[in-house]
Amino acid sequence: MMQTISGLLLLALGIGLAASAAITDGYLHRGVESGAEQPYVVQPTGKHLATNIDLRPFSPDRLESVTQTLAGAGFRYVRQTFSWAQIEPAEGAFDWTAYDPFIEHLDRRSIGVIAVVTQAPEWAIGAGGVDSADAPPRDPATLQTFTQTLTSHYREEVSFVQIWDEPNVATNWGGMVATGESFLPYLVAGFNGVRAGNPNARVIAPELAITSDLAAGSGDLEFVRDLYRSAGQSFFDVLGVRLDGGQYSPDDRRSRADRMNMSRAILFRDVMLEEGDGSTPIWATSYGWATSGTLSRDQQAEFVVRGMERSWSEWPWMGLMVHWTFLASEETADSAYSIVLPGGTGTPLYQRLISSAVTERAERANTGFAPMDSDAVDYGGDWQDQHLENRTFKTTSQIDSSATFAFQGTGLIMFVRSGPNVGSFTLEIDGEIVPGGSVTSSELWDLSLSATTNDFPRTVASGLPDREHVATVTLETPGELTLGGFVVERDPPFVWPIILMTVSSLILLFFALRSFAYLVAIKTGHLRRHELIEPWAHPARMPDWRPGR
């Protein structure tokens, strides 16, 4: 009887510990990636500071001040509404006067633009218009014409275009229900127009409301899933999502569709992986926490920065996190998210964002793939561009030419070309040589022994502390050095508790099964009970050894 009880107890403890390990692992590591997963997510930008702002109302003098403030604070991208109705009030008649001035100011300060195309003109919607704030054009071809004109007019000054804003809200879609399938023709038209006007421009899928304002409408996750199942993934380069932290800290790792927190972004990544798309980036095109009676401006600043740091470390699939709004009036709901108050006073969030700790971290490469034209790479010597495999390679034949790469992570993978024509190079990380094992010198890396040329990724460092590092690659001998990118790895956190719990559960389950095996052997007659030495059995009485009188 005791054998049965002990076996059941061990079995229950083992299963309970295994379940606890699985639940804990899911909570701590869902959505967390090391950066080395393939296919790599190639972000079209670094993870610089970005914000939403409407620059149209500002006078020329104010534009100078506002754009200078943006640049001084370290913002490298702004997301700006481009009203189709304002730009093309009559078909074929384009008016750029509200947009050219601030585009010129932003370009002069090297601030990129994410243009949100929305607000179709009445002539495109149809006779009589609709009783809603916005509506889709009657013919998607008119949208294609407009987006082509937009990107051909601004060229590289507007390199990202987001097609529509919240089409799953009826007031933005002519009072009608929009689904991923019904929206697809407009996404296709916008995509084709953007690329026709500028082949280098990138298209962002529309930001969606978390829930629709119609009972039959699609929420954001359902809309994205429907878009994928309608084969829409070929018509956007980036998936845009709204990421509102709600009242939860960025450390809240519960991810559910009905929970408004930062971890909700993981659900979009899950949908994309389920649909076989592991390479498309996600951008939070509206990101932040709103102040409230329970969330102060100081807490807002802390949450926003910690959320960015979590994304940089754990989510290589997340690119730009565009702050909800830079400057808003007190009359709007967006003022609770604002970085700068209407009078021009910077909030605690503004002070945190302009701090060197944040700006320097945003400039260096974080977990994931970093292309050779990344801002985290500095070059010395003579380097040439090679455009292969939809990305930029850098090559040099000049001895002592170097590429210096600033990153934060625990490991480094390099895409470096091998073949008979390559030269040997050295690799330093934080000023120390990483041995390459060349036959001529242990300090050199020699990949010339390969009979064929390839650009395979090679792990060159691992087990580094999770902090800032600087790697320098230098050509040392005659030949070519060609680099195709870096991959920053980061070991997942909190792994040892999971391993300990799993190993303990396996040990308990082993002893539980062993106990049951003994019971079965006894019941079937293969083992007699007295052959067992039960741990609870009393020891036999020893004979009286004392001598007699």
Least confident of 16-25, 281-290, 318-327: 16-25
**Confidence category of residue 45, pLDDT binned at 50, 70, 90:** very high
CA dihedral for 311, 314, 315, 320, sign (positive or negative): positive
Q: Which helix (H) or strand (E) holds 307?
A: helix 297-314
> Which pLDDT score, from 0 to 100, does residue 536 have?
46
pLDDT for residue 28 is more than 70: no
Residue 532 pLDDT exceeds 50: no
Q: Quote the pLDDT of residue 549.
A: 53
Determine the distance from the C-alpha atom of residue 427 to the mean position of all C-alpha atoms in its chain, rounded to a whole number.
Answer: 28
161 vs 70, 141, 277, 326, CA distance in Å? 20, 17, 21, 20
List, as one string, the DSSP characters of 160-179. EEEE-B-TTSGGGTTTS---
Helix (H, G, I), strand (E, B) or coil at 457: strand
Label residue 418 left, alpha or beta by phi (over 0 means left) and psi (-120 to 50 means alpha).
beta
Instruction: Based on DSSP, count helices (H) and strands (E) in the chain, helices before strands.
Output: 13, 19
Under a CB-based contact definition with an 8 Å cutoff, are residues 512 and 433 in contact? no
Does residue 316 register a pLDDT over 60?
yes
Structural tokens at position 79? 């997301």
With beta carbons less than 8 A apart as the criterion, state whether 199 and 148 touch: no
Average pLDDT over all residues of the chain: 90
Q: Looking at residue 450, what is its pLDDT?
A: 80
Q: What is the mean pLDDT of residues 119-127?
A: 89
Q: Is the pLDDT of residue 534 over 60?
A: no
Per-residue confidence band for 198, with pLDDT thresholds at 50, 70 and 90: very high
Residue written as token pair 């002893």: 511
Do 207 and 242 form a contact (C-beta atoms < 8 A)?
yes
- % of the chain residues with pLDDT over 90: 75
Token match 């909030």: residue? 347
- Determine contact, residues 300/287, Cβ cutoff 8 Å: no
Residue 420, pLDDT > 60, answer yes
* 12-29 mean pLDDT: 69
Q: Which of 182-186, 407-411, 522-526 has the lowest mean pLDDT?
A: 522-526
Task: Calculate the alpha carbon distances from 463 to 227, 364, 466 in Å.
Answer: 40, 19, 9
Tell me the pLDDT tens digit for each residue of 349-358: 999 999 999 9
CB-based burial, 195-217: b 16+ in 10 Å, e otherwise: bbbbeebbbbbbbbbbebebeeb
Phi/psi region, residue 9 (left: phi>0; alpha: psi -120 to 50; beta: rest), is alpha
pLDDT tops 70 at residue 96: yes
What is the token pair recorded at 511? 């002893």
More confident residue, 494 or 225: 225
**pLDDT class of 1 with cuts at 50, 70, 90:** low
What average pLDDT does range 258-273 have in this prediction? Answer: 97
Helix (H, G, I), strand (E, B) or coil at 459: strand
| Contact call for residues 424 and 445 (beta carbons, < 8 A) | yes
Q: Per-residue confidence at 15, pLDDT binned at 50, 70, 90?
A: confident
Helix (H, G, I), strand (E, B) or coil at 293: coil
Per-residue pLDDT at 16: 76
Instruction: Indicate the pLDDT class of residue 137, thresholds 50, 70 and 90.
Output: very high
Q: What pLDDT is recorded for position 413? A: 97
146 — phi, psi (to 5°)? -65, -50
Q: What is the mean pLDDT of residues 518-538?
A: 60
Residue 323 has φ and ψ, to the nearest 5°, of -60, 145
pLDDT beyond 80 at 9 = no
Q: What is d(CA 37, CA 343) in angstroms, rounded to the nearest whole number?
A: 46
